[in-house]
Chains A and B, each alone.
Chain A
Amino acid sequence: MAKGKLSFEEALARLEKIVAELEKGDFTLEESLKKFEEGLVLGKECREFLDKAEGRIRELVEEKEGQITEKDVTDEF
């Protein structure tokens, strides 16, 4: 999830809260709909986040003091 937006964990927690609130159903129809839509968007974003391109594996070696070289070694695993 992009920076500044909700983290995956926060988005999931928010979704859980919305689901519980809608179950209880103490909102007006408009409020419920708003929550419902927000919940669907959150669920979709979380899903997309999980399905995003695979994570990378990088190897970090300090060549000289404080000078770190980074190498992508994803294909080696």
Chain B
Amino acid sequence: MSENEPLLSVRNVEKHFPVTAGLFKKQVAAVKAVDGISFDVFKGETLGLVGESGCGKSTTGRLVTRLLEPTGGSVEFEGRDITHLSQGKLRPLRRDMQMIFQDPYSSLNPRHTVGAIVGAPFRIQGVRTENGVKKAVQDILALVGLNPEHYNRYPHEFSGGQRQRIGIARTLALKPKLIIADEPVSALDVSIQAQVVNLLEDLQKELDLTYVVIAHDLSVVRHISDRVAVMYLGKIVEIADRKRLYSSPMHPYTNALLSAVPVPDPKARKERERIRLKGDVPSPLNPPPACRFHTRCWKAQEICKTVEPPLETLASGHSVACHFPENAPVAAATAGEAGKD
């Protein structure tokens, strides 16, 4: 981590997908997939983005890589506003910003060889390599732990873990600065997950990469991230460095998420106190007003239904959007006691 300028800076970004009806495709509603989120990603760090399905975490990944165009707000990469750049102007940027996809089965073209898949970025970007594209591709294959002799093989000849390595090799081809990984290990077996997680960490050290890791698995995110942002229904509800977020989570939703993760320790199941959330995540088509979590929150009061809590940053660097945060810092607690006197 560093104190310098953020590599990626996201401000109040929104993505509303229109819902149309009738002959003239009149817009009748909007799915507010991402509804005004802001965060920074600094050089060399890993930001984890967690949340349940439908919370907008994948949409966020696609917005910052400009695979989708935001309907509001701004995205800055290395200080340059890329929110509404045209495809042509975006192309040179794609070198610096790459994406790893979730499903290693559908994200590789089955009719292309590994050489063609990993070499495609060189051809598309017109990059000249010293000893030819083939040599460059083979170097990258070796880097991600694949045999360089697999150059002429097809994706179906590989296992899931190896395919994910091919996907990673492709993103690394042009030596990007920022990699957005959308559920990079969730489709893999447990023993293979660990291999890929270790690989991502090694590559980060070796190539000085910056990651945004999008995942629903809280334990994987804790392992890999320096800072973690928790999303709920298109909003960031809490963002903090890893240690603080997992040891003293402030937002009730984060608390509930953490306590819901089953722990592989049979004795702990009897001792552990669990927070049980009722119901499902509401539809982003019609999210609850004000604090979006109030319908499932056990601490909710009148104010939560009328006033939206802003994402406030505390002195500790911990940001939370809640009227009644848990584990509130000592300063607030003593103020409360002073009030009693």
Q: Indicate whether A and B interact.
A: no
The residues of A with any CB-CB pair to B shorter than 8 Å are none
